[in-house]
Amino acid sequence: MTFPDFSRLSATALAAKVDGGNVSPLDSINASLARAREAGAGRESLNLILWSNEQLARRDAASLAEGMNRAGKGGRLAGIPIAVKDNLATLGLPTTCASKILAGYVSPYEATAVARLREEGAIVVAKTNMDEFAMGSSTENSAYGPARNPIDLRRVPGGSSGGSAGAVAAGIVPLALGSETGGSVRQPAAFCGVVGVKPTYGRVSRFGLVAFASSLDQIGPIARNVDDAALALEIISGVDPNDSTCSSRKVDTYRDEFLPLATSAEPLDGMTIGVPEEYFPEMLDPGIRALCERSIDLLKSLGAKVVDVKMPNTALAIPVYYIIAPAEASSNLARFDGVRYGARAETAALRDMYAETRSKGFGDEVTRRILLGTYVLSAGYYDAYYRKAQSVRGLITRDFRDAFGRGIDALFTPTTPTTAFAIGALTDPYEMYMSDIFTVTANLAGVPAMSLPIGRVGGLPVGGQIIASHFCESTMFRVAYALEAALGGEAHQ
């Protein structure tokens, strides 16, 4: 059976068609499911989707259509198919974190972010592939095999939210949810040529997100354009009694802040954009540098004042991150022991069961980070490593505070130092970790950041990163929307 092709429509455009009665929710969902089957077929499967429940999605579409017939309208995302990263709890679909240790696990509750999208009419069609327990930058560390980049099947889609970014880029869904600990939404968004957002820490509830590093983790949307990303973030943001770290601060209506400026000749008039020199090192790909310089020139033409800034502690971000994140992971992942849920080794002795379950259940990268985290938290090393890393984290946060305190409204940087690399190309863990060199700082400081497409190098997408001060997502979206509009088709060339 042939279904209509909605693969290039934005979420807001498709929702308007559904709400206006031009497209039925079932047609929207069937088209998405058909696209997912196509992407997963053949020898060169993209392997973006881990779990799909077509029957459940169609049931939800029929229920939505019935409700719309009674009420006369749907929610802001009525009939929109969405994909959800496999570390976000969902009702009716497995939540395995792409790990053998959680094989077959189905959550009895749902993540707040997922539930809020459902309340606006969105329909979950799939759970996406990821690096196991979100530990990776390529979606190669999955118990279910590596995902592929829809732009070039020989290359990675980035990670750890590579499945979600790839699903949007492949036209399977217009909107997906990913999670961030050190750049796992923004980096794959850059590699796949889509928009990815990391909100301020505490802006979005983490309830239902399987914990990796609790002081760094955040849920963020991945979309085809800035407008969709802003709408999705607005929907999933806000206080949640189930998450004590979630802020009660009022959520802005992000789109109301930038959409009225769309017709302005200088939509960034009065704004100051900082360009940190530490994010433009000699090792930066020359093609990426050139595209960033073009974007900076566009920001100036849009009315913004662009100034150079210094972020002196940027170089310390990777070593600090790879002490703090594994330390928190070693604690969080202690709960996966074969006793309460997930896989269990068939061994009589309790201690042997623990050891065998975890040895067989965790992959190499997860094991590496648990061991590293346990080491830096152990007696005699805590002060030398973990406590010192937390102190340096404070210095990195101060860099951002100082920049924004001097009248800088937002920062512009490249999202990644290279374009998407080939599957299997980076075997040295350190080289893999360095692919997040421009993104981990925002996680350590807790500030909002996003990536949007700014062009291509050798046919591969390049992302530009916009960073704002705490809870200033409106400012971030204003800059991103203006730049996206100015780039137009050039962002995909």
Q: For the segment 51-97, what is each residue's pLDDT rounded down to a tens digit?
A: 998 999 999 999 999 999 888 778 999 999 999 999 999 999 999 99
Which class for 370: exposed (0-12), middle (13-18), buried (19 or more C-beta within 10 A)? Answer: buried
What band does 2 get if pLDDT is binned at 50, 70 and 90?
Answer: low
Considering 32, 52, 138, 160, which one is annotated as catalytic?
160
- At position 206, the amino acid (one-letter code) is R
| CA distance linking residue 130 with residue 391, whole number of Å | 31
Q: Work out the percent of the chain whose per-residue pLDDT is above 70.
A: 99
Residue ranges with strand state E in 339-459: 410-414, 449-457
The two structure tokens encoding residue 343: 């896989």
**What mean pLDDT do residues 367-387 have?**
93
Phi-psi region of 316 (alpha: psi -120 to 50; beta: other; left: phi over 0): alpha
The per-residue pLDDT for range 437-472, each reduced to its tens digit, is 999 999 999 999 999 999 999 999 999 999 999 999
For 72, half-sphere exposure in the C-beta direction (CA atoms, 13 angstrom radius) is 0
Place of tokens 């069609």: 125
Name the residue among 410, 437, 465, 441 with its Cα closest to residue 189: 465
Q: Kindly tell me if the per-residue pLDDT of 330 is higher than 80.
A: yes
| CA distance linking residue 324 with residue 319, whole number of Å | 9
Place of tokens 């943001």: 237
The per-residue pLDDT for range 179-236, each reduced to its tens digit, is 999 999 999 999 999 999 999 999 999 999 999 999 999 999 999 999 999 999 999 9
The neighbouring-strand residues paired with 308 are 275
Q: Kindly tell me if the per-residue pLDDT of 43 is higher than 90.
A: no
Active site annotation includes 160 = yes
Instruction: State which H helix or E strand residue 136 sits in.
Output: none
The two structure tokens encoding residue 265: 């000749």
Quote the pLDDT of residue 280: 97
Question: Which domains, and CATH codes, for the chain?
Answer: 11-257 (3.90.1300.10), 263-314+392-492 (3.90.1300.10), 319-383 (no CATH)
CB-CB contact of 124 with 82 (8 Å): yes
- The DSSP secondary structure of 114-171, one letter per residue, reads HHHHHHTT-EEEEEE--SGGG--SSS-S-TT----BTTBTTB---SSSHHHHHHHHTT
CB-CB contact of 252 with 237 (8 Å): no
Residue ranges with strand state E in 351-439: 410-414
Q: Kindly tell me if the per-residue pLDDT of 492 is higher than 90.
A: no
Higher pLDDT residue, 340 or 220?
220
CB-CB contact of 223 with 195 (8 Å): yes
What band does 347 get if pLDDT is binned at 50, 70 and 90?
Answer: confident
Which range among 3-7, 236-240, 287-291, 428-432 shows the weakest confidence by mean pLDDT? Answer: 3-7
What is the crossing angle of helices 11-19 and 226-236, to 10°?
70
| CA distance linking residue 482 with residue 202, whole number of Å | 26
What band does 1 get if pLDDT is binned at 50, 70 and 90?
Answer: low
Other beta carbons within 10 Å of 55: 9
Quote the pLDDT of residue 74: 86
Place of tokens 């749907």: 74
Instruction: State which H helix or E strand residue 162 sits in.
Output: helix 162-169
Q: Kindly tell me if the per-residue pLDDT of 371 is higher than 80.
A: yes
Quote the pLDDT of residue 346: 84
Considering 138, 161, 184, 237, which one is annotated as catalytic?
184
Quote the pLDDT of residue 344: 87
CB-CB contact of 147 with 166 (8 Å): yes
The per-residue pLDDT for range 130-155, each reduced to its tens digit, is 999 999 999 999 999 999 999 999 99
Length of the chain measured in residues: 493
Considering 17, 85, 127, 198, which one is annotated as catalytic?
85
The per-residue pLDDT for range 238-289, each reduced to its tens digit, is 999 999 999 999 999 999 989 998 889 999 999 999 999 999 999 899 999 9
CB-CB contact of 449 with 465 (8 Å): yes
Per the omega criterion (within 30 degrees of 0), is the bond before 160 cis?
A: yes
What band does 377 get if pLDDT is binned at 50, 70 and 90?
Answer: very high
Active site annotation includes 184 = yes
The neighbouring-strand residues paired with 128 are 49, 85
CB-CB contact of 423 with 140 (8 Å): yes
| CA distance linking residue 355 with residue 11, whole number of Å | 46
CB-CB contact of 81 with 3 (8 Å): no
| CA distance linking residue 346 with residue 13, whole number of Å | 52
CB-CB contact of 320 with 443 (8 Å): no
